[in-house]
């Protein structure tokens, strides 16, 4: 065998070795795009609403895994986000407050356990970028509604490589969050504002358009990095005020928009289980004031629902711009997309305009997870899931080990097989001195207070709008379910009597 032949054989072997490596061997780690949308009910086309126009969110849901019954742990912005970011149930009253992220992360030194799943991604080689409202603050900084952000601490100081926000004509993040098309804001006008607006502006005329513009630009930069990325994009709308460019209002004929199927008070329920729509009423130039004592007029209720739908369609259009950027930059085939609503919102249901209850309308929100190459699935109402399940899910999908305790359970078996024999059909939520448990059929709520009744039971098979508390009629069901609810009792109300 000549030296020339041996050299040629070696060259051929080297070529075959490196040219025939399979896709699995060369596969890059998944990128992750996490889109958090504030106050988003599961009222999307893909969830069965045939009036609202959400084609881009519908595409994600129809191409990925849609969870019919996804529940947040706390029905308020900051606390819900604290729970999903840490993968933990609330364990104190402070965990139920909008300041939860600030209280438990902002002043903490970096410890062995990551402060959030974003931090865990960063520790494992991901480049992390946050744009808009991911934690509680709209720009990731800890400062008051009427304060300057200059010198403010980061809410999650160890999580981000980059934290981006463009306040535009509103000048600060909180002004932008409560902003109107002319650059004004709720606090600057001392709450003398309406809870809705159809702005004569284009998509950049409201803050979410600017955040999306940042996201599109950043995706172009990230596509050139030899490093996987996690991008969090937090859109404000449809959070109050229900503002959107007029073209999204024009998508709808108001008379076609349905009113709440149950605008009355639920039976056998203490008013303490509901709320007086205080956030909504802080927009003091609204046409009418909401409250438990009476319903809003049908005309005003329909106007508000029209405004909400327009704001949702605006966010959907912005999501479409991000999806287009993913495709254009060649990132779509290697990027996990998660769409998450931080809680639901009563649109007049039970005479409430807002979140902050333990009812289905406040606790249920969309969860869509699209993993490249996975077949589409719908996880039905027989398997409720929780926001805290996202942390272990993302880590399993990206192959990142977790050696610390989490309260959530990975959704990967549901995503890959559509079922999980090891998963209990339970989701726990916490608010208003109560613990709520949602099962396939029932919602059981136990309140730690003096006001009676302290136990509520809703049968979703016969009463999907939770109109009647039937706890007194079914002591046998209460006896069966209460031990299961106690599994979610973290002791956060141990010292409460009211």
Amino acid 494: pLDDT? 86
Amino acid 412: pLDDT? 98
C-alpha 197, offset from chain centre = 23
Q: Per the omega criterion (within 30 degrees of 0), is the bond before 238 cis?
A: yes
Whole-angstrom Cα distance, residue 12 to residue 15? 5
Helix (H, G, I), strand (E, B) or coil at 457: strand
Whole-angstrom Cα distance, residue 396 to residue 382? 23
Question: Cβ(392)–Cβ(315) under 8 Å?
Answer: no
Q: What are 40's two structure tokens?
A: 């988003």
Question: Cβ(428)–Cβ(436) under 8 Å?
Answer: yes
Question: Cβ(383)–Cβ(69) under 8 Å?
Answer: yes
Rounded to 5 degrees, what are φ and ψ at 66?
Answer: -105, 130
- Positions of the chain with pLDDT lower than 50, given as ranges: 1-25, 496-498
Residues marked as catalytic: 77, 136
- Write down how long the chain is: 498
Closest CA to 28 of 200, 226, 254: 226
HSE-up of residue 366 (Cα within 13 Å, Cβ side): 31
- Environment class of residue 389 by beta-carbon count within 10 Å: exposed (0-12), middle (13-18) or buried (19+)? buried
Each residue's pLDDT tens digit, 380-390: 999 999 999 99
Each residue's pLDDT tens digit, 44-89: 999 999 999 999 999 999 999 999 999 999 999 999 999 999 999 9
Whole-angstrom Cα distance, residue 264 to residue 311? 25
- 8-state DSSP, 291: B
Each residue's pLDDT tens digit, 410-438: 999 999 999 999 999 999 999 999 999 99
Question: Cβ(432)–Cβ(273) under 8 Å?
Answer: yes
pTM: 0.94
Q: What are 3's two structure tokens?
A: 């030296």
Amino acid 495: pLDDT? 60
């Amino acid at each position: 065998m000549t030296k020339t032949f041996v050299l040629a054989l070696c060259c051929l072997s080297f070529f075959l070795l490196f040219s025939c490596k399979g896709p699995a061997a060369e596969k890059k780690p998944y990128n992750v795009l996490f889109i958090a949308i504030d106050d988003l009910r599961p009222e999307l086309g893909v969830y069965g609403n045939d009036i609202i126009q959400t084609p881009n969110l519908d595409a994600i849901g129809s191409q990925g895994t849609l969870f019919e019954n996804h529940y947040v742990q706390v029905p308020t912005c900051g606390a819900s986000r604290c729970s999903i970011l840490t993968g933990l149930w609330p364990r104190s009253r402070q965990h139920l407050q909008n300041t939860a992220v600030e209280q438990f992360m902002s002043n903490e030194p970096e410890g062995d356990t990551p402060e959030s799943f974003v931090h865990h991604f960063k520790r494992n080689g991901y480049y992390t970028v946050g744009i808009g409202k991911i934690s509680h603050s709209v720009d990731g900084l800890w400062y008051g509604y009427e304060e300057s952000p200059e010198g403010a601490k980061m809410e999650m100081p160890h999580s981000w490589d980059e934290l981006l926000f463009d306040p535009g004509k509103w000048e600060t993040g909180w002004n932008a969050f409560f902003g109107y098309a002319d650059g004004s804001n709720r606090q600057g006008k001392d709450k003398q504002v309406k809870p809705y607006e159809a702005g004569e502006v284009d998509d950049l005329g409201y803050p979410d358009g600017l955040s999306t513009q940042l996201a599109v630009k950043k995706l172009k930069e990230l596509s050139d990095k030899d490093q996987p990325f996690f991008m969090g994009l937090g859109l404000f709308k449809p959070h109050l005020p229900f503002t959107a460019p007029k073209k999204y209002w024009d998508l709808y004929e108001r008379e076609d928009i349905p009113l709440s199927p149950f605008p009355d008070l639920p039976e056998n329920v203490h008013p303490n289980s509901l709320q007086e729509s205080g956030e909504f009423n802080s927009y003091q130039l609204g046409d009418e004031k909401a409250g438990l004592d009476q319903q809003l007029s049908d005309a005003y209720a329909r106007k508000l629902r029209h405004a909400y739908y327009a704001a949702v369609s605006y966010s959907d259009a912005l999501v479409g711009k991000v999806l287009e950027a993913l495709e254009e930059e060649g990132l779509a085939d290697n990027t996990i997309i998660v769409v998450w609503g931080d809680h639901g919102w009563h649109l007049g249901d039970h005479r409430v305009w807002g979140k902050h209850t333990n009812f289905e309308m406040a606790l249920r929100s969309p969860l869509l997870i699209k993993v490249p190459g996975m077949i589409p699935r719908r996880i039905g109402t027989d398997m409720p899931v929780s926001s805290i399940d996202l942390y272990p899910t993302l880590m399993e999908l990206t192959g990142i080990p977790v050696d610390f305790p989490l309260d959530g359970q990975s959704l990967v078996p549901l995503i890959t097989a559509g079922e999980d024999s090891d998963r209990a059909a339970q989701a726990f939520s916490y608010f208003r001195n109560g613990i709520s448990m949602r099962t396939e059929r029932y919602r059981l709520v136990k309140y730690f207070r003096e006001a009676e009744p302290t136990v509520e039971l809703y049968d979703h098979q016969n009463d999907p709008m939770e109109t009647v508390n039937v706890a007194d009629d079914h002591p046998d069901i209460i006896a069966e379910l209460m031990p299961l609810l106690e599994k979610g009792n973290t002791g956060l109300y141990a010292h409460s009597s009211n």
